[in-house]
Amino acid sequence: MVSNPVHGLPFLPGTSFKDSTKTAFHRSQTLSYRNGYAIVRRPTVGIGGDRLQFNQLSQAELDELASKAPVLTYGQPKQAPPADFIPAHVAFDKKLL
């Protein structure tokens, strides 16, 4: 989409130029029907015919996201309050041992 800037010039806005040879800016269709059901396809070619790059996550990154999802959504888990303490002399009151 953007060609390399001219050598010797710093990278500033306006020093890079778009490819003027591109004239077709079609958008590929991503929805089709099969047996009456809508099928969504991911586009492989972007506007202007450029290939789209997909972010591929490694298995370790997927596992990390899966383990952190509840923390990211709900925050840090809170500890349950301790159970009510009942002394032994009250628990065994009026019971035959």
At 13-34, the pLDDT tens digits run 766 666 677 777 777 788 889 9
Inside any domain, residue 87: no
Give mean pLDDT, residues 67-96: 82
Confidence at residue 74, expressed as pLDDT on a 0 to 100 scale: 81
Inside any domain, residue 51: yes
Inside any domain, residue 90: no
In this predicted structure, the answer to whether residue 77 has a pLDDT above a threshold of 70 is yes
More confident residue, 27 or 80: 80
Q: Percentage of the chain surpassing pLDDT 90?
A: 6
Contact assessment for residue 1 and residue 19, using Cβ atoms and an 8 Å cutoff: yes
Least confident interval from 12-16, 45-49, 67-71, 81-85: 12-16
Inside any domain, residue 74: no
Inside any domain, residue 14: no
Domain count for the chain, please give it.
1
Q: Which domain holds residue 51?
A: 23-68
In this predicted structure, the answer to whether residue 7 has a pLDDT above a threshold of 80 is no
Inside any domain, residue 95: no
Inside any domain, residue 41: yes
More confident residue, 19 or 91: 91
Distance from C-alpha of 6 to C-alpha of 34, rounded to nearest angstrom: 50
3-state secondary structure 13-76: CCCCCECCCCCCCCCCCCEEEECCEEEECCCCECCCCCECCCCCCCHHHHHHHHHHHHHHHHCC
Inside any domain, residue 93: no
In this predicted structure, the answer to whether residue 79 has a pLDDT above a threshold of 60 is yes
